[in-house]
Chains A and B, each alone.
Chain A
Amino acid sequence: MADETFSLILFSGTDDKLHAASVLAVGAAAMGRPVNVFLQYWALDAFREDRVHKDHGVSPEAGEDGARAVIEQQGAVHWIELFEQAKDIGEVTINACAESMELLGITADDLHPVVDEVWGVARFFMEAGDGATFI
């Protein structure tokens, strides 16, 4: 199954990138692909349960209009909801990078329940198959 797996490494924690990632995850899950999401750095920080719904800003290229559009989009369907839908319809695992956890001083209890486990990088690659997408 590993070669069918869609592996996604999330580094950035802005709402636009997290939303784009959630759309990819839900699309892959809908098409029957196993999805393997790995959270690092600022993406991991955004998955803290008490920070999920905060404003995480947008990429620098968004500009004012882009930022407004993303805020509106998050009001309609938030990215965390799309990750939940992905898990609901498919075989989707979302795991936190152990090194990033340590760097940011995060414990498993701090994370939103959509996050399954804390993994080292080797474990992620064991599940990743041939390719991985970095956002």
Chain B
Amino acid sequence: MTTTEITRTIDARGMACPGPLMALIGAIRTSQVGDVLEVLSSDEGSKTDIPAWVTKARHELVEVVAGDGYARFVVRKAR
């Protein structure tokens, strides 16, 4: 269990690649530095794409948790 407080949840389950990543990018743009966003995605591509983008965009990947048929990515807006 995470103790991080989630600012915002993006349920992108059912969206095809690159939908969940686009949803995250859009949400990050309208968030404040320090906000913690969680993305729920059933798209296989998200497993590689969300961590890659978070690294490239220099935010922080707090955790990735595998769920039943989807994964949960917790991202902190770092800048």
- Using a CB–CB cutoff of 8 Å, the interface residues on chain A facing chain B are 23, 26-27, 30-32, 73, 76-77, 82, 85, 89
Contacts and interface: CB of A to CB of B under 8 A. Distances in A.
A85 B24 CA distance: 13
Contacts of A85: 22
B16 A31 contact: no
Given A30-B18, A89-B25, 11 more contacts: A23-B17, A30-B21, A30-B22, A30-B49, A30-B53, A30-B56, A32-B56, A32-B57, A77-B16, A77-B19, A85-B22
Contacts of B22: 26, 30, 85, 89
Interface of B: 16-19, 21-22, 25, 49, 52-53, 56-57
A26 B57 CA distance: 15
Instruction: Please list the 3 inter-chain residue pairs (A to B) with the smallest Cβ-Cβ separation, ordered nearest first.
Output: A31-B56, A30-B53, A26-B18
A26 B26 CA distance: 13
B25 A30 contact: yes
B56 A27 contact: no
A73 B53 contact: no
Contact of B16 (A26, A32, A73, A89): A73
Contacts of B57: 32
Contact of B18 (A23, A32, A73, A76): A23
Nearest to A27: B18
A29 B33 CA distance: 22
B49 to A, nearest CB: 7
A31 B57 CA distance: 8
A85 to B, nearest CB: 6
15 contacts: A26-B18, A27-B18, A30-B18, A30-B21, A30-B53, A30-B56, A31-B52, A31-B53, A31-B56, A73-B16, A76-B16, A77-B16, A82-B18, A89-B22, A89-B25
Contacts of B52: 31
Nearest to A33: B56
B27 to A, nearest CB: 12
